[in-house]
Amino acid sequence: MFDQFYQQASDQLKVSFLTAILEQDEQLKEKFINYYLKPSDKQLALTVTDQDDFILASKDLIKANLESIRFDELNLSDFVPTHNGYIQGYDALEQMAEEEISRIIGVHVAEVERYCSINHFDLAFLYMIGIYRACLEAKLNKEYYEVPEPTLTMLNVFENHLDSCLPIFKAIQIPEDQLFTIATVLFDQHNELEAKDSHFLLFFEACLYSLIHSGSEASILLDVIEEKNKATHLPWLYTELHRKTGGIESYEKSALKYYQSSVHVALDLLDLYKSTNSKKFRNIAKQLWDKGHFHHEFAELYFEVLNLDEDPDLYLEVTQYLIKRKFSKKHYKIIQKLMKEEGRMKYLRTLQNDHPAYITALCMEGKYSEARNHALLHTNRWNIVETMTPCLEHDPEQGIVVLAQKVEELLLNERGRNLYARVATILKVAREIPAIRSQTEVLINKIVYTNGRLSALKGELRIAGII
């Protein structure tokens, strides 16, 4: 009876019945998800009979092309600079050498695009592996070494060319057996190269990801990654595939395994928690910071997102790191909030060699006399704007006295339009402070009168709009 009714029922009726049953049974939902994501048994689907032979033959051809470059035959008269201004001869030769490398690799990347255009996607990736291995093995003309790091240069050039292929990969729909083949061959090649090169899989990570358009495709690639034990080599790709196959919960579970080994995974996880769970954000940030991971990349993010009252010790460490990287008043105000005066004075001494930072911090602490004295000793033609600005802003009456002395010294002993431009800039800063506007006008007139023969100086003062 069932068979008779089932055969007679329309597909629409069957789907309606299935949907109604699924909505009522959580176990059936889980079974459907597992069925949907379970990859079918697949065999390699190769356009060529032996992928290793194809890779080696391609590699040998490309390697020979690269090694045929004669750097000694490069002619500077043929050089076309990419920007205005003088360029040293050796820099020009290095640029010409890189352009020749780029030309040759570009010819072979065009072959990758050709394979894609005729739907031989496996050959496109096999050929890319050949290019990569050629870059590793090619020995460029050593007698005329115009490229200081040839292997790195070749790989960087190759990577730049591959960027033009990504839109092609994103646009094509690769058959599932071809996707399985590409992933399998890439991971098998990694087994051969891992001892000599640790960046191989990461180099192709963006290319692999660009091929994924659906959950079923993500499942195929994820299955191969797990079968070949490559998750630790491709943590970002692995977590993103989990996002595509299992949603945010699956992504979060995988990201929590690998966020400490990948700056990209860590950033994505922090971005998730920034908007959904501040406690988890703080825990992840603290773990990463305490273990010394990604300080440079995330310090500013932590400063903006963390609450200094919830974890003041972490916030203080982050702020001190940012000040060491580049001093700012915004960051030093946090130091003033979180450190007692005795500790701050001790900390201040660590800034002494960064003269603008030290002077600014002294002014923020109200130690104007010490700031002026330090400015008198350490202001020069290069830092006059940065050292004198805080003195003028915090202690204008005495700051203008120091400025007059330093400008007089510099103009007496040094010359140069860059010096004059900086002098004009700091004089403009001083003139815009109401408390010392009249004193600044007197100083400007005195400078013009005393240095009337310096037409370049007057020109910079005119440009600054103060005469």
Dist. CA 261–CA 242, nearest whole Å = 17
Q: What is the 3-state secondary structure (H, E, C) of 337-389?
A: HHCCHHHHHHHHHHHCCCHHHHHHHHHHCCCHHHHHHHHHHHCCCCCHHHHHH
Please give the C-alpha separations between residue 281 and each of 140, 251, 261, 442, in angstroms, as whole numbers.
48, 16, 17, 56
Burial of 274 (0-12, 13-18, 19+ CB in 10 A): middle
- Is the whole model's pTM more than 0.85, yes or no? no
Residue 127 φ then ψ, to 5°: -70, -35
- pLDDT at position 96 is 74
Residue 190, both tokens: 């990694």
Residue spans of alpha helices (H) in 138-262: 150-163, 166-171, 176-193, 200-203, 205-210, 215-227, 235-258
Dist. CA 384–CA 250, nearest whole Å = 56
Residue labelled with tokens 């579970």: 253
Q: By the 8 A CB rule, do 123 and 54 touch? A: yes
DSSP state of 328: -
Dist. CA 346–CA 90, nearest whole Å = 48
**CB atoms inside a 10 Å sphere around CB 379:** 26
- pLDDT at position 40 is 47
Residue 238, both tokens: 């692995």
Rounded to the nearest integer, the mean pLDDT of the chain is 89
Dist. CA 244–CA 389, nearest whole Å = 53
Residues 6+ positions from 50 with CB-CB distance below 8 Å: none
DSSP state of 106: H
Nearest to 362 by CA among 371, 353, 374: 371
DSSP state of 233: G
Query: What is the CB-side half-sphere exposure of residue 46 using CA atoms within 13 A?
Result: 14
- pLDDT at position 193 is 85
Residues in the chain with pLDDT values less than 70: 1-11, 13-14, 30-43, 71-93, 141-146
Dist. CA 171–CA 176, nearest whole Å = 15
Dist. CA 318–CA 332, nearest whole Å = 12
